[in-house]
Amino acid sequence: MTFRDETATGKPLTEWEVAGLPERMTVRELIRLRVREEVARHNARPSARFNASSTPTTPRRS
């Protein structure tokens, strides 16, 4: 199966294939698969985003 994300005007954003799917599956199972795949891809790439749970190492000035 190929997942493809597009803008509202039809411009392709991303596309990836998932192999080994059963011949029949419910929409619920398909959505769960997609969410798991997206989370795994997100977690696999390094990120320079600020982690809000971290604490500053230097005190703030008023």
Summary mean pLDDT of the chain: 81
pLDDT value of position 29: 93
Higher-confidence residue: 37 or 48? Answer: 37
Beta carbons of 13 and 7 less than 8 angstroms apart: yes
pLDDT tens digits for range 6-29: 999 999 988 888 888 888 999 999
